[in-house]
Amino acid sequence: MTNTTTLHTLALLFALFAHAAVAHAQVAVLRIDPEAEAVCRDVERALQGVGVVPDPGYLEEARRQDMDPTSDGALELITPLLQIKLAVVPLFVDDATIEVEYRDGGTGARLGKASIPRERGKLGATGRAQLRSDVVTQLGALLEGSAEPEGDSPAPDQEAADAAPRSIRAVIRMGMGIGMRDVEWTLDGETQSVAMGAFPAVDLGLAFAFRLNDTLSFVPALSYQSSLFFHEVEETRTAAPSEKVGVRAHRFAATLGLAIRLGGDKSASITPALGLGVRNLRPEAHHLSTPAFSLAGPLLQLGVHLPITDVLSLQLVPEAQYLFVGEGLRERDVESNGLSLGGELAIAYEIIAPLALELAYRESHALLSAVDGDAGDVERFVTFRAAGTL
């Protein structure tokens, strides 16, 4: 009796384990042509995050059973043995499209076909979005027990909806790096300065893209860069010993841009933008030689996005800004307005849609004047950040 109970318990545990494994293994890309391995891997990369599993060995099993891997008989016999919910079968490929077939993982029965667009011989953003949407739809139908009937293609309206790019996207950026800030002004014939040197910095950004049509998108964006904490600088005093003073540097910008694509998705684009920029310097204690001040004013940018490969791109954003000088510098005989020139250069590598890693460098020079000479403020940031698209 005890042995029987134990066997039943082990069988139940095995069944639960098998069910958990099957639940995790939802989607597999089946190879029916060894020459199409690169295409199958491209499809698998596009389906990361929806339960895709590595090659389950369909082609090897078809060969072992001496069956034509492209035949319905092989697909209906072998697919149920793979313990998946959905099979994605690339049937035909050229430079413009991949024709895929969806099959029920439990029975091997056809669920439908779709033509997935390619860009420059690989799956681009539109193709990946359509493929993922198709797979999620098919999985939902299978889980509800209402899979689409067998057919050659999805309904035209559904296919168009799946392929249509999203009208609103958000990009969130978060990163860290190194910042530098140097300020100079002339007072009573002597050059005064605050040289912060290198300090740890945080880099945050949020942008939205409201797609107007295939070419234009409205792009509001926010960006913020700052020293992580008060960074010590040495403040010299007349007839007194020098003293360490904690100083923080900040930069904030809010812009409204119009992105103009020069081709399809993932093509080159330009984004003219207008907005407001503010940067300031804040000592930990007030009434010191180191001034607390802000430089703020209207900002003009021209973003240029250049794809290098399907996953690597370059972003260049030159900018010009008219500045209103804060009280802390005006008290030191700096003129009340000036001009700033600078910009940002970033290179982005897409690890897997929708996540990319970016290495960015920003530099901006505020060109100011003082009663007794010139004044200036130079900021630099080198940051490494992650960018996620929602």
Q: Which domain holds residue 50?
A: 2-163
At 23, the pLDDT band (50, 70, 90 cuts) reads: very low
Nearest of 66, 79, 67, 72 to residue 30 by alpha carbon = 79
Both 232 and 182 in one domain: the answer is yes
Residues 352 and 370 in one domain: yes
Same-domain status, 142 and 174: no
The residue among 120, 138, 163 that closes a domain is: 163
Q: Into how many domains does the chain fold?
A: 2
* Last residue in a domain, options 144, 163, 182: 163
H-assigned helices in the chain: 2-24, 37-46, 58-64, 72-78, 125-143, 156-163, 327-330
With H, G, I as helix, E, B as strand and everything else as coil, classify residue 138. Answer: helix
pLDDT tens digits, 99-112: 899 999 889 898 88
- pTM of the predicted structure, to 2 decimals: 0.60
Q: Residues 135, 246: one domain? A: no
CA gap 88, 330 in Å, rounded: 67
Instruction: Give the single-character DSSP code of 334.
Output: B
Confidence of residue 213 (pLDDT cuts 50, 70, 90): confident
Pair 211, 103 in one domain: no
Cα 212 off chain centre by: 21
**Does residue 206 share a domain with residue 148?**
no
150 in the same domain as 44: yes
Residue pLDDT, tens place only, 250-267? 999 999 999 998 876 668
Task: Tell whether 186 and 158 lie within a shared domain.
Answer: no
Q: What's the pLDDT at 286? A: 64
Contact by Cβ (8 Å): 366, 340: yes
Last residue of a domain, one of 163, 191, 226: 163
Please report the pLDDT score of residue 225 as a whole number: 97
122 and 176 inside one domain: no
User: Is residue 90 domain-shared with residue 218, that is, in the same domain?
Assistant: no
Q: What is the pLDDT of residue 143?
A: 52
Token duo for residue 324: 């209103």
Instruction: Provide φ and ψ at 361, rounded to 5°.
Output: -130, 130
Say whether both 147 and 194 belong to one domain.
no
Report yes or no: 278 and 246 within 8 Å, Cβ to Cβ: no
Determine how β-strand 27-29 pairs with β-strand 86-93: parallel
Q: What is the pLDDT of residues 129-181, one digit of tens each?
A: 888 888 888 887 665 554 443 444 444 444 434 444 568 889 999 999 999 99
Domain with residue 232: its CATH number is 2.40.128.90
Q: Same domain for 34 and 54?
A: yes
